[in-house]
Amino acid sequence: MVSKAFTTIPHTRRVIYDTYANFPTTGLTSGDLAFATDRLTLYRWNGAAWQEITIYSSSGVIANIPAFADVPAGSIYFATNENILYQNSGAAWVAMPSGNATSGGYTGDSTANRAIAHGLGVAPALVYGFNLTGTDYTFRLINQYAQIRWQGAATTGWRVVTGANATNFYVGNAGSYVQSMNLNTVNYRWAAIG
């Protein structure tokens, strides 16, 4: 039988449990550890500064998300009331794209900024739409622009609408409901990508 023996070489490490502002910066040895109770993050002393060795990961209602500056970049937070996962980009909390796609249809009603529920849980990156009445129009809503881009047989253009959010995209501009995907009694189909 082969025996595996382990030898432990004792080395004392200092472990601190306090708020980040109260971490000492003198009298430390490289490898000392500290847990920031206000940031919920573990740090390691590198001989000159405290370095994060974990990311923050938690969940709860969006109102309880910690300030982005108080947690390391890359940290994640799942907002249970929104069903959205957020990641700290280092400058802000950013909703992570779901990568999902949904589709649906509706009948136009000639109202401006009509909300159409898309079911993605995040603002769609793209919505593509068309009408089913035989006209040549196709439509694109790109999330970074609060507008509908339309294309007809020989012309193109855009109409301003309310920007999409995690629940709805918006159609209908009083300047032209034909060109903004919401003409009364017209049936429309759409596909949204998160």
CB 55 within 8 A of CB 70: no
- Single-letter amino acid, residue 135: T
Q: How confident is the model at residue 2 (pLDDT cuts 50, 70, 90)?
A: low
**Residues 152-189: pLDDT tens digits?**
777 888 999 999 998 999 999 999 999 999 999 999 99
Going from the C-alpha of 148 to that of each of 38, 39, 60, 140, 156, the distances in angstroms are: 44, 42, 35, 6, 11
Average pLDDT over residues 98-126: 90
Please tell me the predicted confidence (pLDDT) of residue 167. 92
pTM score over 0.75: no
CB 152 within 8 A of CB 145: no
Please tell me the predicted confidence (pLDDT) of residue 4. 63
Could you tell me which residues come within 8 angstroms of residue 150 by beta carbon, excluding any fewer than 6 positions away?
Answer: 137, 138, 139, 140, 156, 157, 158, 159, 179, 180, 181
Could you tell me which residues come within 8 angstroms of residue 181 by beta carbon, excluding any fewer than 6 positions away?
Answer: 108, 129, 131, 139, 148, 150, 171, 172, 188
Q: For residues 86 and 136, what is the distance between their CA atoms, to the nearest angstrom?
A: 39
CB 149 within 8 A of CB 127: no
Q: For residues 30 and 39, what is the distance between their CA atoms, to the nearest angstrom?
A: 21
Could you tell me which CATH number the domain at 11-54 has? 3.40.1620
Report the DSSP pairing between strands 76-79 and 57-60. parallel
CA proximity to 112, closest of 176, 185, 194: 176
**Residues 37-72: pLDDT tens digits?**
888 788 889 899 998 876 777 888 999 998 888 887
CB 43 within 8 A of CB 23: yes
Q: Where are the domains positioned within the chain? A: 11-54, 56-96, 101-193
Please tell me the predicted confidence (pLDDT) of residue 74. 81
Q: How confident is the model at residue 8 (pLDDT cuts 50, 70, 90)?
A: low
In the block, tokens 């502002």 appear at 21
